[in-house]
């Protein structure tokens, strides 16, 4: 069976992917949009259609900003494949998908990867206990199922933490405390970039509103230098150490951790595209030109997957990448491209400030206690990683062989950055020299029967 | 007997062959330096399927494989490790009449050559030994005492033991040229030059390039056979399973994960050290796995990978002295060299020390690929 061919394959139906599809379909290019979720919207506009009916105010105006985009996307004429996972892109631009138990191969002239961000791991002691969840996970439950926990404690830093705590409060849930790990050092390094941030007065105002509302409704603990989850078989609270040396314990069965988001590079790395270490945001990002073109001429990357910029920047990045492709397909779009380039720069103007302010301090990026689990899938502790480093493992890939960190289901999503930073601090090498795990297809697990379905039905 | 050479022997490649050779030489008091352009076990030896089998080998290779098995059976004591070799049985099942025919011909052929280790087991016996096998199995060819090992663990253990015995490893160090200088060899690397009397080429898929540096034209092809590993499942299998007439290899590790391979190749990019997975190839051998174990339908695959391996024209390795004195080759294992490792290391150490080898190596002679004179003159 010949592979189905498309002019444009867009992977991810968040703001960047949806916006890109509007541009490519308008130019008459045959476009397919693939997303592994049931609904479009990505993380930020998750479950928008359903929530729109009741429109709970606690989700905030920025959430409902997505309505127009989602509507235009639904009408744009792109083939939309929800519940469909891309698990590999080959050198020859064969894209391997799986959907409803069946694998397929399709090919494309151009690919736009818009797979968004993932949360930076926050490996504190006890973070794998039941009752502990990432803030992103907590927000997903709120959006998807209107489920929230009473008396939760939010720990960490970054816009998503404050937004979610704010949404919790607005939803009428009592928040026990917000433990903010943002240090004075970060404030000092961020302040010089504050004027740039004010090019985005709306965003600054929104952030201040969240913080103000949070302060009025719950206790905010600052100057925290260490955090531990208390509990044996279930989280029972958080213990935090202040810069003064004092310790505070707060009891709760629901602890939400978050210390920022980083580009989800699993697919782009597994595809073999070039990546670079981003010193400002302290994460890997694909190497792209101003339009989003990657090291592979046919592949573009847009939105948070190319570098964290937020939903509005993602929309523009999607438009920009799509316009560049449309131009390469023979329909020049000089003005549109210029316009998007400028808007994109404008939206990114707040990043130097945010990236510096909310970069978690090193002692939160690295695990502190020996028994802290680093690789959740394979239950590898900090002590195990240290032992591997002492016995000669010199890089992330060797470390896999020495102690199995990164060998599990999540393909390093929840340990990669931590492990890499541990190696770098052990060897004294830079993050660029240290490098990241070599990632392998399938980018997300697929079943044997799904994989075999390229050949035929599974034998009984 | 004392060392063969006072200058350290230079071994190129820290795969299982290089590490095992370093181990045996160190054990005999011969100083060695092992160089590898990457790290120990980075290529075929660290990422292979770990099948430790005599089953299904080319008749010419069986004596070497049997000699290797002696070492595998004492690998824990040899290398000071625990559970180094999972001694089970290895069976190639016949799923149809063609497979059964192949099986009976294979067994006859082996008997004629004087080997008795492969035996036929019928359907009922087989289902008794492996209850989860497809009920449509007809029987299979089995070798008792074959099994599997964790490739990286074994390669690393040979390295560790060699180091404990005094071997020196230099990584990452790339050999860029090898030149004769009077009576000895100069091995030039990106980290300085090493003078030696004897060079052992254990460079795997890169062995042809190293051979050329010494003046030997030993063409090999690089390929990248693919494997997948699954999520953990309750243990149901204590043997390694293949299919007659096919290339499946299927085993379950101690933690419950299954490693499935099938001879299907990805793309090997030798120059850049990279491999590429071909989805259709994975699909094909996973389907074969399904024909053998249909109950695994919904088990998830966590990862697929491929390793770069050197293949010769006749699928037999190149083991023996090169064209010039002081050059010894041991590469091109054509995707079945892991099990041979300990015996190859021993044989290469014997060659270094100019001793009689335990196994006759004639079938693996580098000179079997000698070019015809007119081709040589064109060089
Ligand atoms: C996917 C796969 C599955 C397999 N399954 C099995 C199995 O089940 N059972 C079995 O018996 N065999 C199996 N094999 C085969 C087995 O892995 C190999 O035959 C064996 O590991 C070869 O060992 P080696 O030391 O020759 O090669 P390698 O392990 O490849 O070592 C060669 C080394 O040489 C180094 N090198 C190359 N050029 C230079 C240079 N210029 N300077 C310095 N260093 C250099 C390389 O970096 C490399 O580390 C499999 C192979 C693969 C790829």
- Residues from chain A contacting residue B300 (CB–CB below 8 Å): 409, 445-448
Whether the CB of A137 is below 8 Å from some CB of chain B: the reply is no
State how far residue A78 is from chain B, nearest Cα, in angstroms: 26
Instruction: Kindly tell me if the per-residue pLDDT of B1 is higher than 70.
Output: no
pLDDT tens digits along B321-359: 999 999 999 999 999 999 999 999 999 999 999 999 999
3-state secondary structure of B14: coil
Which of B45, B66, B317 gets mutated to test ligand 1 (max ligand atoms within 8 A of its CB)?
A: B45
pLDDT tens sequence across A73-97? 999 999 999 999 999 999 999 999 9
- Residue B3 pLDDT class (50, 70, 90 cuts): low
Q: State residue A12's pLDDT score.
A: 97
Separation of CA B256 and ligand 1 centre (Å): 26
Compute the distance between CA of residue A356 and CA of residue A363 in angstroms, rounded to an integer: 16
* Nearest residue in chain A measured CA to CA from B150: A401
Exposure string for A1-31, b = 16+ CB within 10 A, e = fewer = eeeeebbbbbbbbbbbbbbbbbbbbebebbb
Over chain B, what is the mean pLDDT? 95
A407 contacts chain B (CB < 8 A): yes
Lowest mean pLDDT among A344-348, B51-55, B204-208, B233-237: A344-348
- Would the CB of B14 count as within 6 Å of ligand 1? yes
Write the pLDDT tens digit of every residue in B164-198. Answer: 999 999 999 999 999 999 889 999 999 999 999 99
User: Looking at the predicted structure, is the pLDDT value of residue B247 above 90?
Assistant: no
Nearest CB partner across the interface for A90, out of B276, B287, B299: B276
Which pair of tokens denotes residue A263?
Answer: 């580009």
Does B54 contact ligand 1 (Cβ within 6 A)?
A: no
Touching B: A residues 418-457, CB under 8 Å? 440-442, 445-449, 451-456
Rounded to two decimals, the pTM is 0.93
Residue B4's pLDDT band, with cuts at 50, 70 and 90, is low
Q: Is the ipTM of this complex over 0.95?
A: no
Distance B222 CA to ligand 1 centre (A): 11
Q: What residues of chain A score a pLDDT lower than 70?
A: 1-2
Mean pLDDT rounded to a whole number for chain A = 94
Nearest to A435 by CA among A402, A406, A403: A406
- Select from B2, B50, B37, B255 the least CA-distant residue to B154: B50
Q: What is the 3-state secondary structure (H, E, C) of chain A?
A: CCCEEEEEEEECCCHHHHHHHHHHHHCCCCEEEECCCCCCCCCCCCCHHHHHHHCCHHHCHHHHCHHHHHHHHHHCCCEEECCEEEEEECCCCEEEEEECCEEEEEEEEEEEECCCEEECCCCCECCCCCCEEEHHHHHHHHHHHCCCCCCEEEEEECHHHHHHHHHHHHCCCCEEEEEECCCHHHHHHHHHHHHHHCCCHHHHHHHHHHHHHHHHHCEEECCEEEEEEECCCCCCEEEEEECCCCEEEEECCCEEEEECEEECCHHHHHCCCCEEEECCCCEEEECCCCCCECCCCCEEECHHHHCCCHHHHHHHHHHHHHHHHHHHCCCCCHHHHHHHHHHHHHHHCCHHHHHHHCCCCHHHHCCCCCCCEEECCCCEEHHHHHHHHHCCCCCHHHHHHHHCCCCCCCCCCCCHHHHHHHHHHHHCCCHHHHCCCCCCCCCCCEEHHHHHCCCCCCCC
Query: Cβ(B247) to ligand 1 under 6 A?
Result: no
Distance (Å) from CA B46 to ligand 1 centroid:
8
Quick check: B172 contacting A, CB < 8 Å?
A: no
pLDDT at site B379: 36
Question: With an 8 Å Cβ cutoff, is B173 touching chain A?
Answer: no
């Amino acid at each position: 069976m010949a592979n189905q061919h498309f002019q444009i394959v867009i992977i991810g139906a968040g703001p960047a992917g949806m916006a890109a599809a509007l541009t490519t379909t308008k130019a008459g290019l045959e476009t397919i949009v693939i997303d592994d979720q049931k609904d479009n919207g990505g993380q930020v506009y998750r479950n928008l259609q359903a929530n729109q009916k009741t429109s709970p105010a606690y989700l905030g105006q920025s959430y409902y900003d997505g309505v127009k985009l989602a509507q235009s996307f639904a009408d744009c004429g792109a083939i939309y494949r929800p519940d469909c996972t891309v698990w590999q892109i080959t050198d020859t631009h064969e894209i391997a998908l799986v959907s409803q138990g069946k694998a397929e191969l399709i090919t494309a002239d151009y690919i736009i990867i818009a797979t968004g961000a993932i949360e930076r791991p926050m490996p504190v002691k006890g973070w794998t206990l039941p009752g502990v969840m990432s803030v992103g996970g907590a927000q997903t439950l709120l959006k998807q199922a209107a489920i929230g926990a009473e008396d939760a404690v939010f720990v960490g830093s970054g816009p998503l933490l404050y937004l979610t705590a704010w949404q919790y409060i607005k939803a009428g849930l009592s928040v026990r405390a917000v433990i903010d790990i943002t240090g004075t050092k970060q404030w000092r390094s961020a302040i010089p970039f504050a004027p740039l941030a004010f090019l985005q007065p709306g965003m600054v105002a929104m952030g201040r509103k969240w913080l103000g509302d949070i302060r009025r409704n719950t206790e905010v603990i600052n100057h925290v230098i260490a955090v531990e989850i208390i509990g044996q078989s279930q989280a029972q609270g958080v213990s935090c150490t202040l810069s003064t040396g004092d310790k505070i314990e707060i009891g709760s069965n629901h602890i939400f951790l978050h210390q920022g988001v980083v580009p989800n590079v699993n697919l782009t790395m597994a595809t073999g595209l070039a990546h670079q270490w981003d010193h400002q945001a302290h994460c890997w990002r694909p190497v792209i030109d101003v339009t989003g073109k990657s090291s592979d001429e046919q592949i573009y990357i847009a939105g948070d997957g190319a570098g964290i910029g937020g939903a509005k920047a993602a929309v523009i990045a999607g438009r920009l990448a799509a316009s560049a492709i449309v131009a390469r397909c023979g329909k020049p779009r000089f003005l549109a491209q210029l316009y998007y380039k400028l808007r994109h720069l404008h939206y990114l103007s707040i990043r130097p400030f945010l990236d510096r302010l909310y970069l978690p301090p090193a002692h939160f990026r690295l695990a502190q206690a020996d028994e802290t689990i680093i690789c959740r899938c394979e239950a590898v502790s900090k002590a195990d990683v240290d032992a591997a480093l002492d016995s000669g493992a010199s890089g992330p890939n060797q470390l896999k062989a020495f102690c199995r960190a990164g060998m599990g289901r999540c393909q390093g999503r929840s340990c990669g950055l931590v492990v890499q930073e541990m190696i770098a601090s052990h060897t004294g090498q830079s993050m660029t020299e240290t490098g990241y795990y070599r990632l392998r297809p399938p980018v997300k697990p697929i079943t044997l029967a799904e994989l075999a379905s390229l050949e035929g039905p599974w034998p009984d | 007997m004392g060392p063969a050479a006072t200058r350290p022997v230079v071994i190129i490649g820290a795969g299982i062959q290089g590490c095992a050779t370093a181990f045996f030489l160190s054990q005999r008091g011969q100083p060695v330096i092992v160089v590898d352009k990457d790290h120990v076990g980075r290529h075929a030896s660290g990422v292979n399927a770990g099948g430790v089998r005599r089953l299904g080998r080319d008749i010419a290779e069986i004596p070497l494989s049997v000699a290797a098995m002696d070492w595998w059976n004492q690998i824990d004591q040899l290398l000071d490790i625990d559970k180094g070799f999972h001694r089970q049985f290895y069976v190639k099942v016949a799923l149809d009449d063609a497979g059964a025919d192949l099986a009976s011909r294979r067994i006859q052929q082996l008997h004629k050559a004087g080997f008795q280790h492969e035996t036929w087991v019928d359907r009922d016996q087989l289902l008794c030994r492996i209850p989860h096998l497809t009920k449509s199995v007809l029987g299979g060819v089995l070798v008792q005492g074959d099994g599997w090992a964790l490739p990286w663990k074994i390669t690393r253990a040979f390295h560790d033991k060699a180091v404990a015995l005094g071997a020196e490893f230099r990584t990452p160090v790339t050999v860029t040229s090898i030149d004769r200088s009077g009576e000895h060899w100069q091995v030039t690397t990106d980290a300085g030059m090493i003078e030696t009397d004897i060079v052992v080429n254990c460079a795997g898929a890169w062995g042809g390039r190293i051979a050329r540096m010494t003046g030997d034209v030993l063409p090999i092809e690089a390929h990248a056979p693919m494997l997948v590993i699954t999520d953990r499942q309750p243990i149901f299998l204590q043997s390694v399973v293949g299919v007659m007439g096919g290339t499946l290899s299927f085993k379950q590790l101690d933690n419950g994960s299954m490693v499935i391979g099938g001879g299907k190749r990805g793309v090997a990019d030798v120059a850049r050290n990279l491999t590429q997975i071909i989805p259709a190839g994975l699909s094909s051998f996973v389907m074969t796995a399904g024909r053998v174990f249909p109950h695994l339908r919904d088990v998830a695959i966590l990862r697929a990978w491929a390793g770069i391996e050197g293949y010769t024209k006749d699928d037999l390795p190149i083991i023996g002295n090169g064209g010039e004195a002081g050059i010894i080759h041991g590469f091109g294992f054509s995707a079945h060299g892991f099990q041979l490792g300990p015996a190859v290391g021993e044989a290469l150490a014997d060659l270094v020390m100019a001793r009689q080898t335990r196994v006759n190596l004639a079938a693996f002679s580098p000179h079997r690929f000698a070019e015809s004179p007119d081709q040589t003159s064109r060089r």
